Amino acid sequence: MNLRDRQRAFAAALVGGFVPAGVDPRGMAVYAHNYRSQLVAALRETYEKTLLWLGETAFDALAAAYVDSHPPVSWTLDAYGEAFIAHLDDAYPADVEVAEIAWLDWHLRRAFSGPDARAIGVGELDADDWDRVEFDFVPTLRYCRVRSNAAAIWRALGDGQPPPVPQGVEAGVGLRVWREGLSPRFASMTADETACLDLALAGASFGEVCTWLGQRYDAEQAARIAGGCLGAWTAEGMVRALR
């Protein structure tokens, strides 16, 4: 067996939890413990606020179970753990805030290491035909619809304050995460803004967003909501260009 094959066999044994032929079980146990410990430590670092919310005992038990079924597939531990959000959702189906806090943890961390992009300023909002304008957003932007006050819980945990009691929120509201300059940020969104962002990310023009709003509100209110979304997205460094 050459060195490459031996390394692959050793790595497979670590992932599979068995001792390969010709290897001292005592030494293998040390490597297996270190392997699992490093992956659990990576999850603890990535999901810092989720750890605070669940407590060390519950978090570490879930993390250990996740490690057993999700070997790393990237060269960097920074990319390990994306499916941990779904793992938590399955573990806490009645406590929806758990997975939503984890969603914030994951995407804020990914935004920090995401690709750079220059965002346009409010003064660069210039177009000849706004009905046909489409938006090119910064690549770190992510959003989701939420069912709980996870954002308020996450913020309190980050500030070292007693977190609020979990509670449900209005249907359709959302969270967005992006990086403004060098700083990862997040913001809660109303159901209207969430729907508008969903449309814009799918390629809808500003005119099409306004048309959608016009089916729900009078013309003046629809224009106010659309303009507010455009102003907020631009002022907060989310828009890279207009098309």
User: Do both 31 and 11 map to the same domain?
Assistant: yes
Query: Among 94, 115, 145, which residue terminates a domain?
Result: 94
User: Do both 111 and 209 map to the same domain?
Assistant: yes
User: Do both 118 and 79 map to the same domain?
Assistant: no
The pLDDT tens digits for 141-191 are 999 999 999 999 999 999 999 999 999 999 999 999 999 989 999 999 999
User: Do both 87 and 118 map to the same domain?
Assistant: no
Mean pLDDT score across all residues of the chain: 90
Q: pLDDT band for position 58 (50/70/90)?
A: very high
User: Do both 215 and 112 map to the same domain?
Assistant: yes
User: Do both 113 and 202 map to the same domain?
Assistant: yes
d(CA 15, CA 179): 35
Give long-range contacts, CB 8 A cutoff, 24+ apart: 179-187.
179/111, 179/112, 179/114, 179/138, 179/140, 179/237, 180/119, 180/236, 180/237, 180/238, 181/237, 184/108, 184/109, 184/111, 184/112, 184/140, 185/111, 185/236, 186/104, 186/107, 186/108, 186/151, 186/154, 187/236
Lowest mean pLDDT among 67-71, 94-98, 144-148, 168-172: 67-71
The pLDDT tens digits for 112-138 are 999 999 999 988 988 889 999 999 999
Query: Among 94, 119, 137, which residue terminates a domain?
Result: 94
pLDDT number for residue 98: 98
Identify whether the C-beta of residue 153 lies closer than 8 Å to the C-beta of residue 122: no
Q: Which of 234, 42, 225 is nearest to 141 (CA)?
A: 234
The residue-averaged pLDDT of 57-70 equals 95
User: Do both 235 and 143 map to the same domain?
Assistant: yes
User: Do both 51 and 13 map to the same domain?
Assistant: yes
User: Do both 88 and 188 map to the same domain?
Assistant: no
User: Do both 90 and 105 map to the same domain?
Assistant: no
User: Do both 217 and 108 map to the same domain?
Assistant: yes
3-state helix/strand/coil string of the chain:
CCHHHHHHHHHHHHHHCCCCCCCCHHHHHHHHHHHHHHHHHHHHHHCHHHHHHHCHHHHHHHHHHHHHHCCCCCCCHHHCCCCHHHHHHHHCCCCHHHHHHHHHHHHHHHHHCCCCCCCCCHHHCCCCCHHHCCEEECCCCEEEECCECHHHHHHHHHHCCCCCCCCECCCCCEEEEEEECCEEEEEEECHHHHHHHHHHHCCCCHHHHHHHHHCCCCHHHHHHHHHHHHHHHHHCCCEEEEC
User: Do both 61 and 174 map to the same domain?
Assistant: no
pLDDT number for residue 78: 84
Q: pLDDT band for position 76 (50/70/90)?
A: confident
How many structural domains is the chain composed of? 2
Q: Residue 116 is part of which domain span?
A: 100-243
The pLDDT tens digits for 8-40 are 656 555 555 555 656 656 555 555 557 788 999
The pLDDT tens digits for 185-220 are 999 999 999 999 999 999 999 999 999 999 999 999
pLDDT number for residue 128: 86
pTM exceeding 0.85: yes
d(CA 8, CA 31): 14
Query: Among 55, 73, 94, which residue terminates a domain?
Result: 94
